Every structure is written in C-alpha cells, then in structure tokens.
Amino acid sequence: MDAIEAQPDCESVALNIVFLLLGQAVAVILGKFYFDHGGHSKWMGALVQTAGFPVLFIPLLVFSTPKRVSSSYNDPSQPSLLTLTLLYFSLGCLLAIDNYLHSLSLWDLSVTTYSLICASQLIFNVIFSFTINSEKLTFLILKSVVLITVSASLVAIHPDSSEHDEHGKHSKRKKDHVIGFLCTVGASAAYALLLSLTQFSFDKVFKKETFAVVFEMQIYTSLVSTFVCIVGLFASSEWKTLDSEIETFKLTFKNGELIYVLSLVGTALAWQICTVGVVGLIYLVSSLFSNVVSMLCVPFVPVVGVLFYKEILDGIKIVAMLLTIWGFASYLYQQYLDDSKAEKEETDSDSGIEDSRLDGSSDKLV
C-alpha cells in the first residue's frame, strides 16, 4: 500500500470502483427483497446498512503497517479525544438518519423509482460543496442541477407502473409514493451533507487523508449509527415483529428462516463491500472522486431492478434516466476540466521552480 500512496495505479482504482458499484447495487436489491417478502421493520432495514462495520477491521489490519498506525496516533497535530468523540458521534447520528430514510424509501418505492430519485443527491452535493467546502459554481454544474431536478420531478409526479398488482391496480397508495419520494430526497440530502462534512473534517480537523484516518472515520461513525439503529429498533417495538417476519418467509420459501437470515447478512456484507470501495477511492484519489463514482450507480441500479424484479421501465422513467445520465456527464466533465486545470498549474509551478534552480546554478558558474 505504500506504493499506492505514492501514485495510485489504475487497477486499484478500478477494483474499488467495482466494489462500490457492485456492493451498492446488491445491497439495494437485497434490501428490497427483504421488504417485498415479509420484512416490515424499517429500523432493521437501517441497521443492516452499517451493522457489518467490523468487516472493515480486516483491510485496516491487513494493509496498515505499524509505522503508519503509530504515526497517526502520535502526531501532535491530531485533534483531541473530545473533538474526535463529538465528531464521530455527530456524523454517526447523521448516518443513522440517512440509513433510516433510505429504509423508508425502499419500503414505499420500487427499485427503479428509488434509484432515479436518489439522483437528487447531486443537487445537494452542489449546494453543500458550495456552502461548506467552498467549491465554485460553474455553468456545467448548474446545468447538471437543472437536469437532475427535472428528472426527479418527472419521477415524482408520474405514477409508478412497477407498483401495480396482478390486476393492474396500484398496490400502494398515492400517499405512500409521496412519502417515499420525500424520504428519498431527504436521504439524498443527508448523505450529501455527510460527505461534505466528512471532507470538511479531513481538511480542517484531521488536515490529511491517511489510510488509517479514512478507515477509522468509517468504522467509528458506523459504530455510532449501528447503536442508534439498535436503540430505534427496540424503542419503536419493531423488534417484536421479527418473529412474524420469519414466519412469513417460511410460508414463502422452503428454507424461509435461512433465507431471511441470509438476506439480512447479505445486505450487511454488500453495504460493507460498498464501503470498502468508498474508503478505497477516498484514500487512493479523493473524497470528491469517491462521491462522483457513488452517484454513477443511479442509472445502473434501475437496470438491475428490471432484471431481478421484472419492474417496468416505462417512457417517463427512460426519459428521467437519460436526463440523469446527461446531468452526471455535465458534472463529470466539469470535474475533468478542474482536474486538468489543477494538473497544468502544478506542472507550470514545477517548471518554474526548475527554471529558477537552473538560473541560480548558471549565476554561480559565472
């Protein structure tokens, strides 16, 4: 990993992109599977999104050297224990809220509708990046916001044809669709805020993005989120319905109890695979790049929903998805322009330093 720190190779970046996209897609599909086959606990749906966080200790222990860990803890410039506790607790609570809203969204909406509305995260990314991280607003970014807004609006006002029963009638009420839409938008806003605050923490609190710091941030915030979701599960009395959920799975599947457990465990592991991809991209490239890649899953998941759940990707959804892809393309192109400009400025700066050294050497010879 020391070599990767010096210069990230394409293979490692590509592998982490696969982890992120595949993990997120599988997690959403399994989460919907849980609700569609008898699962009713929203807090359980939120809990499994972070409950697998102990898995993150494996890459942390495997890839972090004693020198890297000791230097991380012995650095006098690092924040105090109280500061870290407040930071992890705040971000963990925000993550728990985000997970619960996502759980409500999957309960009320089809996979395709849910994924397309999740594109609104880009809008909030722009807002929070501008207000918190001092990012600049350009024409391309504003254009992407408009396109994503139109896309989300189309999905919001359009009846979801994937939510019909076998007789062609709506299996969910209009109220449920509205609640699902609002929860998805709220979850997108919460996650965008979480990403911006995480980047702010790296820049202003930790003042670096080392391997250990990035992984510890994910582990401790997930720990807090998991605790909050467990409290919510018992405080809401939803834990009392878990036995009935298992019985429903038994009526649906031959090995219902096993499938019930595997669906929850699989969801938890899939989210952690996604998290490994997120953390890997933050460490190898940047938080911004990891954020952009995570949003690329939005046009990918609806296709998975059609393949696995036979959901209907009607004309309105296709238009919304094309607008979403167009918006993402504008956003990505702006990031490409910014990166190219930064590289050019760095190259010019290095050339200027080298020229000044050569001039100094010439003066000494004279």
Q: What is the pLDDT of residues 283-305, one digit of tens each?
A: 777 766 777 777 777 667 777 77
User: CA distances (Å), 89 to each of 37, 78, 330, in order?
Assistant: 34, 18, 35
Task: Give pLDDT tens digits for 256-266.
Answer: 999 999 999 99
pTM of the complete model: 0.82
Tokens of 326: 């167009």
For residue 69, the one-letter residue type is V
For residue 261, the one-letter residue type is V
Tokens of 6: 């010096």
Q: Which helix (H) or strand (E) holds 182?
A: helix 174-200
Q: Is the pLDDT reported for residue 99 higher than 90?
A: yes
Residue 62 in domain: yes
Tell me what pLDDT residue 167 has. 45
Mean pLDDT of 53-74: 69
């254009």: which residue's tokens? 143
Residue 282 in domain: yes
Tell me what pLDDT residue 123 has. 83
Contact 19, 178 (CB under 8 A): no
Residue 1 in domain: no
Tell me what pLDDT residue 94 has. 97
For residue 67, the one-letter residue type is K
How many folded domains does the chain comprise?
A: 1
Residue 101 in domain: yes
Q: Is the pLDDT reported for residue 195 higher than 50?
A: yes
Residue 230 domain boundaries: 8-365
Task: Give pLDDT tens digits for 302-346.
Answer: 777 777 767 677 777 788 788 878 887 887 788 778 778 877 877
Residue 290 in domain: yes
Tell me what pLDDT residue 366 has. 54
Q: How does residue 198 score in pLDDT terms, banded at 50, 70 and 90?
A: confident
Tokens of 290: 């990891």
Mean pLDDT of 163-188: 72
Tell me what pLDDT residue 337 has. 83
Q: Is the pLDDT reported for residue 5 higher than 60?
A: no
Task: Give pLDDT tens digits for 133-175.
Answer: 787 778 888 888 888 788 777 776 766 555 544 444 445 567 7
Residue 179 in domain: yes
Residue 204 in domain: yes
Residue 2 in domain: no
Q: How far is it, in rounded angstroms, from Cα 195 to Cα 97? A: 14
CA dihedral 97, 121, 295, 286 (to 10 degrees): -80
What average pLDDT does the chain have?
81
Task: Give pLDDT tens digits for 227-260.
Answer: 999 999 999 999 999 999 999 999 989 889 999 9
